[in-house]
Chain A
């Protein structure tokens, strides 16, 4: 098992590329499969974008990214201190609903679900949002 962890401070949309590069480079260096890494990067980018836009909103905050590569595959854990938000509770976009009845960000969450195998969320005792994205090594499309 190999792991790595970095905290990005005062994150804005301009940091998205840096975070993507960190996940990609670190995961590959830890031995994750390229195809799995590429799809994980897509999902993690959507999660981080949601944290920045819908979580921190007008303010800025920190995001900690933790990577784990083991026999089960690649795991990315995202920790932030924005108000409580569980993206796993966001319904899959229902295109039959009028637009104003749909939640913003649903498309990004839909993409997250499509590109990783599992998404779990918990609110930590420290008051952080903890979002865990997992992708098996042999599940890349």
Chain B
């Protein structure tokens, strides 16, 4: 998987991370590592551009969960406990009353959107079809 970073001011600084390729058990760790590096470098608003990601496995959900924790400033579990940590918050996902304020998704393809919905991740991450709308949404709080 290829990762491309773009920084924009809208007016607050927003990092756009383009996920290019297929997100699976062989690649998900690289995405987590990249987001951790971006957060440590000062990124506080992150838009994950999924428009060039045709496939996502359940390991991609693990990556998304870890990314949510990173963007909250929380510790990310090590790889041996990451799946359990994911399950532990599934109930939380379904009862959430607000999206992650600092991380949003751009243009997930329909089957990926279906995966997000069936696992409750659609209540965690606000999704946008258009880039401008996604960037604008960082200035406002939204609810699922």
Residues of A within 8 A of B (CB): 13-14, 16-17, 20, 38-39, 41-42, 45-46, 49, 52-53, 93, 95-96, 98-100, 102, 104-108, 110-111, 114, 141
Taking CB atoms, residues of chain B closer than 8 Å to A13 are 24-26
User: Can you list 13 A-B contacts with CB-CB less than 8 angstroms, sorted by A residue number?
Assistant: A14-B26, A20-B55, A42-B111, A49-B58, A95-B90, A95-B91, A102-B84, A102-B87, A107-B58, A107-B86, A108-B57, A111-B119, A114-B118
- Give the dominant DSSP class at B's interface: helix
Majority SS at the chain A contact face = helix
Give chain B's interface residue range (CB within 8 Å of chain A). Answer: 20 to 34
A49-B25, A93-B90 known; A107 and B111 CB under 8 Å? no
Which residues of B lie under 8 Å from residue A46 when comparing CB positions? Answer: 57-58
- Assembly CA distance A102 to B91 (angstroms): 13
Query: How many angstroms between the C-alpha atoms of A42 and B25 in the bound complex?
Result: 12
* Residue B72 at the chain A interface, CB threshold 8 Å: no
Instruction: With a 10 A CB-CB cut-off, give which of A16, A49, A95 has the most chain B CB atoms.
Output: A95
Q: For B119, give its contact among A38, A39, A102, A107 (CB under 8 Å).
A: A107
Contacts of B118 in A (CB 8 A): 110-111, 114
Also in contact, A16 and B84, with CB within 8 A (given A42-B55, A108-B58, A111-B118)? no
